[in-house]
Amino acid sequence: MATDTYGVPEADAVRAALATVNDPEIHKPITDLGMVKSVDIDDDGRVRVAVYLTVSGCPLRDTITRQVTEAVSRVPGVSGVEVELDVMSDEQRRELAASLRGGQAEREVPFAKPGSLTRVYAVASGKGGVGKSSVTVNLAAAMAADGLKVGVVDADIYGHSVPRMLGVDGRPTQVENMIMPPSAHGVSVISIGMFTPGNAPVVWRGPMLHRALQQFLADVYWGDLDVLLLDLPPGTGDIAISVAQLVPNAEILVVTTPQQAAAEVAERAGTIAVQTHQKIVGVIENMSGLPCPHCGETVDVFGTGGGQRVAEGLTKVTGANVPVLGSIPIDVRLREGGDDGRPVVLSDEGSPAAEALRSIAGKLGGRQRGLAGLSLGITPRNKF
């Protein structure tokens, strides 16, 4: 029974309802996060709930108020709900940050730990303009639509574009030294573009780039991700080296176009894996052909075979099989989706580009992590 003989809602029932409300940024119940300050129930069934916000001026305060009101209103016997908002003290925020880190020290990259089950893909290209960011965004959206917990780091500091392509217009919230990333389409995203005014350029050198990437990986609260995608800048510069240092278990995903010039540069970018001792998970050929809108015949605008040439070259250089994961045709809807913040895998699932991207996402999202580096908890038994 949710109510007693007088029809007044029980406090346990109200708190159970509050446990169904997740903080929209941390994605955990507000009861577990210590965000419920108090619950008062009047004799006439009116319930007053006081909720702590993590920071003053929280951008999602209206969302929290609405969700608390809706959850408590469903409890039998409740005649009305009033939500009061307060702000956590510095000490409460420190306790929350420590709780979210699981007692781990600050500055630790969780994905680099031997026991991490998050699959990390660094999406690389030899040159700009091959559609690397479009591929990253659509793979992330497709994996999230399949039920995976996905995060994206826009590591292209100078040419950041992921927030627009995913339709993320929110700003990160900071709790102590921890950053809560905004999300869209079920994908958590962080980008330097969220911290710069307007369209201001970022003019940084190597050490600052490394520091920014380290913050994105260590200071952002990602939660328990299944997949993390890093959209790297083109080429083999500072960021590629920093990724190898900070997340040595990251696997490289090479994006190229069919043309010979792009393929040669893409192969060069993938070869960095030999020096950094990283695995190349595969090659994606983007802009592989343009289906004629009149006859349906494919027009090879950028030539053919670039993806296969890159895969064969990298297989020879690394000594390990590097497959072509898929070819994505030229599709105006892919570009339109990027401009509108609606990935084509969600806005036009039946398009050839969307089907190709979903197929690649299925291969990457369905891969199982190996046992290398994991503690199995097995103790050898002495036969004698």
Q: Is the pLDDT of residue 383 over 60?
A: no
Instruction: Summarize pLDDT for 217-233 with one digit per residue, the tens.
Output: 888 889 889 999 999 98
Instruction: Summarize pLDDT for 70-94 with one digit per residue, the tens.
Output: 999 999 989 999 999 988 887 887 7
Element containing residue 51 per DSSP (H, E): strand 46-53
pTM value > 0.95: no
With the CA atoms of 10, 13, 19 and 24 taken in that order, what torsion angle do they form, in degrees rounded to the nearest 10?
Answer: -80
Residue 370 has what pLDDT?
46
Instruction: Summarize pLDDT for 287-299 with one digit per residue, the tens.
Output: 988 877 777 777 7
Residue 206 has what pLDDT?
60
- How many CB atoms are located within 10 Å of the residue 17 CB? 24
User: Residues 306, 349: contact at Cβ < 8 Å?
Assistant: no
User: Residues 285, 326: contact at Cβ < 8 Å?
Assistant: yes
H, E, C per residue of 304-322: CCHHHHHHHHHHHHHCCCC
Residue 285 has what pLDDT?
94
**C-alpha pair distances (Å), 355 with each of 101, 142, 313:** 38, 10, 27
- Please name each of the domains of the chain with its CATH number: 11-88 (3.30.300.130), 110-365 (3.40.50.300)
Average pLDDT (112-134) is 88
Rounded to whole angstroms, the Cα distance separating 268 from 273 reads 10
C-alpha closest to that of 310 among 277, 281, 283, 288:
283
Model confidence at 50, pLDDT cuts 50, 70, 90, reads very high
Residue 70 has what pLDDT?
93
User: Residues 337, 122: contact at Cβ < 8 Å?
Assistant: no
Regarding predicted confidence, which is higher, 200 or 337? Answer: 337
Residue 198 has what pLDDT?
65
Q: Is the pLDDT of residue 373 over 60?
A: no
Regarding predicted confidence, which is higher, 323 or 368? Answer: 323
Model confidence at 273, pLDDT cuts 50, 70, 90, reads confident
Instruction: Report the chain's mean pLDDT, rounded to a whole number.
Output: 83
User: Residues 324, 281: contact at Cβ < 8 Å?
Assistant: no
Residue 197 has what pLDDT?
67
Instruction: Summarize pLDDT for 317-328 with one digit per residue, the tens.
Output: 888 899 999 999
Q: Is the pLDDT of residue 377 over 60?
A: no
Model confidence at 380, pLDDT cuts 50, 70, 90, reads very low
Give percent above pLDDT 70 in the chain: 87
- How many CB atoms are located within 10 Å of the residue 13 CB? 19
Least confident of 40-49, 284-293, 351-360: 284-293
User: Residues 54, 96: contact at Cβ < 8 Å?
Assistant: yes
- How many CB atoms are located within 10 Å of the residue 31 CB? 15
Q: Is the pLDDT of residue 376 over 50?
A: no
C-alpha closest to that of 27 among 145, 155, 165, 188:
188
Residue 118 has what pLDDT?
94
Residue 252 has what pLDDT?
92
Q: Is the pLDDT of residue 140 over 90?
A: yes
Residue 24 has what pLDDT?
80
Model confidence at 143, pLDDT cuts 50, 70, 90, reads very high
